[in-house]
Amino acid sequence: MKLRILLFVGLLAFTSWEMSYAQGSLDVKALIEQMTLEEKERVVVGSEMEIPWSEGGSTGVGQVGGEVPGAAGKSLTNKRLGLNTVVFADGPAGVRIDPIRPNESNKTFYATAFPVATMLASSFNLELMKEVGTAFGHEAKEYGVDILLAPALNIHRNPLGGRNFEYYSEDPYLSGKMASYFTQGVQEQGVGVSIKHYAANNQETNRARVDAVITERAMREIYLRGFEIAIKESDPWTVMTAYNKVNGAFASESEELLTTILREEWGFDGFVMTDWFAGTDIPGQLKAGNDLLMPGTPGHKGLIVQAVKDGKMSEEDLNKNVEAILNIYKQTLEFKGYESSGSPDLKASQAIAKKAATEGVILLKNEEGALPLASSAKLALFGVASYETIATGTGSGNVNKAYSISIAQGLENSKQAIHSELQEVYTQYIKKTREDMGPKAWSFGPDKILPEKIWTQEEIAAFVAQSEMGIFTLNRTSGEFYDRQQGYDFYLSQEEQDLIKNISAAYRAEGKKFVVILNIGGVIETQSWKEYADAILLMWQAGQEGGDAVADILTGKVSPSGKLPMTFPNYYMDHYSSRNFPGRELVDNPYPSPFDAVESEVIYEEGIYVGYRYFETFDVGVSYPFGYGLSYTQFEFSDLKAAMTDEGELTLKCKVRNTGSKAGKEVAQVYVSSPDGKLEKPAKELRAFAKTQSLKPGKSETLIFELNAKDLASFDSATSTWILEKGIYTISIGGGLHDLQLSDSVVLKSGLEVMKTSKSMAPKREIDVLTKRKD
């Protein structure tokens, strides 16, 4: 009788937990006390590769909750405890799921392909970024996705980084702010994000085995700073660890990264998950603070249980992992019983995608008012990408979209006349060449860029005679698993160079203009050929609405307002990081492949001098500087007022006026030159920015910036302290790094210790890093 009563009480207890789960509340600690060791293991392992589990039928593997085909992963269920499936989906450029679902042939589930992250950062518009995040969150919500595997905010350390298009910038402040506002937008929809890849995941070559050797100061100021900003300002639900090692330890096994810095110093209270199949020491990952192992494999079954029994990790440590995960799971839409409609408002998302693309387009050159186009101009569109415009990169940054608008389609939608015979020739050329090349080997592999069609000078001359302007679109793509190359990637092929020169010469000979559009995901060389173009428009990979967005810029419906989030160097080797990218392999690798990574290391010899910090400090010429971007109108900055308190708080105020003849937006960029003292400083560092509203000619807007001491501080590795050194701080404001119209100075009379940290992430050996000091 007593046994029956106990069983009845136990059944009531578990029934109450299941009811509380459905009602949106859960006492996680109490639940953990009642869980078996095997059940705890089920929580910390994902289920994309479903783990067989049938001991006595006490826990069911049957799928409870939503199924989303094409999602990147999901949690294991537990019927006894009422723990349903939590769904994770890729999302750097849109919710990546399958558009077709079994038994639903009458309906599709296409997601919106938004501009790639680099293009979003080019907008320098935080409120727009939040709008984009809201649209992402809405689509995820209605498609049954609980956690979005985005944003990605690793640094553009080198131009050849294969996933740079998924990341925002070479600048950590810009990266962190964009990620923060995106996260706020997504999570306001009840969908979580997973900020990734934490940390120093700046290359694809040997990414699962490479050891990134970095100084403490560079780690804190460059590679962790963006994560710190986003985590403190937007409270993301989850963080995803990187594949690579950092200073000798895998990121997913580093207690200093995951516990000391992330949780104890920054106050992160969500859970941490691995990148898919990352790391080697499972108990070590969990003990370090990497709570969830994704995507989960059959080999995980029983491994953690045995590790606890063998004393390789304590059950108390495992309980911490379980608690962190369940505290987030109970916030999910699945936990709250939300029934997704499968029908998000895609029209609204598409409008936001177009708006974001339009604001991210960058006008690099515009001689003698070549743009905007005259409404009556007949255009000859050259280049494969004019008709087959690339919307996104490949791999997990791809999106299964319903359509993608090419440049040609966008111009036609804008009622702009384009040369129909030339269009037909390219259409047939693309079709035939695609058929000859065949499909790519696997979906995550790099897209195949078609070779350009070669034209004789006589053929070009005929097209010139039948058009008022020539436009040539150059394309590039990249993606997961592969870094880019110098030849026929960063640099143009000889055929591309010759095409640009020949088309340019033919149009200029007739007194007509020639425009180049760059449909690319990362930096390319422009110095050697930009003189041949009257205008250059950088459209990036603008998502599915790219063609319409570019048409709005070309026709002058919208004035371009995008700015470069990274530097375009004159030559690849001008980047200091190019001297060691992507590092050296420590063992022989006779048959290299993206899956068979080998032990390797890359020493970040440039230290803090990444991107424009290097080019500006060491006076290295560039083709286009960070923050650069032209407009169809002009802006004047005035009335700068700057004041700094003894506590290092800086207040700035300035006015931006449209002095041109067209409406437009301007990005006010604030750069600070800090005094060299105990620590040397870069020549200039971006410390704040703001985008104006659309200003009509003659109208102005007053901008106010408030920066605290941490915003201005540098990291002193010797004392593990963020500090402000005494001396003169020069503040410069303008529309770009090389367009700083205003400057003022403030004085900090006494140095300040802003924030004490732990001694963490120190390299295990001395690194001979770049310095501007002669000693």
Residue 60 confidence (pLDDT): 31
Neighbours of 491 (CB within 10 A): 16
Catalytic-residue membership of 275? yes
Domain boundaries, the chain: 27-329, 356-577, 633-756
Q: C-alpha angle with apex 271: 266 to 275, nearest 5 degrees?
A: 105
| DSSP SS3 for 425 | helix
CATH number of 633-756: 2.60.40.10
User: What are the 10-residue block averages of pLDDT along the chain, 775 residues in total?
Assistant: 39 46 73 96 87 40 56 93 94 94 89 98 98 98 98 98 97 98 98 98 96 98 98 98 98 98 98 95 97 94 95 96 98 94 97 98 97 94 98 92 98 97 98 91 81 97 98 96 95 97 98 98 98 98 98 98 98 98 93 83 98 98 98 98 97 98 98 97 98 98 98 97 98 97 97 97 94 76
Rg of the chain in Å (alpha carbons): 27
What tokens appear for 196 in the block? Answer: 């990734």
Which among 406, 388, 416, 419 is positioned nearest to 503, based on CA atoms? 419
What tokens appear for 579 in the block? Answer: 């001297």
Q: From 3.40.50.300, 1.10.8.290, 3.90.1150.10, 3.40.50.1700, which CATH number describes the 356-577 domain?
A: 3.40.50.1700
Residue 52 confidence (pLDDT): 58
Residue 210 confidence (pLDDT): 97
Residue 103 confidence (pLDDT): 83
Residue 65 confidence (pLDDT): 36
Residue 169 confidence (pLDDT): 98
| Active-site option among 275, 489, 574, 711 | 275
Distance CA 44, CA 50 (A): 13
CA dihedral 390, 498, 506, 554 (to 10 degrees): 20
Distance CA 323, CA 328 (A): 9
Q: From 3.30.70.1230, 3.20.20.300, 2.40.30.130, 3.40.50.2300, which CATH number describes the 27-329 domain?
A: 3.20.20.300
Residue 9 confidence (pLDDT): 38
Distance CA 753, CA 725 (A): 9
Residue 404 confidence (pLDDT): 98
Q: Are strands 210-213 and 650-658 parallel, antiparallel or unpaired?
A: unpaired
Residue 102 confidence (pLDDT): 84
Instruction: Give start and end residues of each alpha helix (H) in 263-381.
Output: 282-288, 303-309, 315-329, 346-360
| DSSP SS3 for 262 | helix
Residue 197 DSSP symbol: E
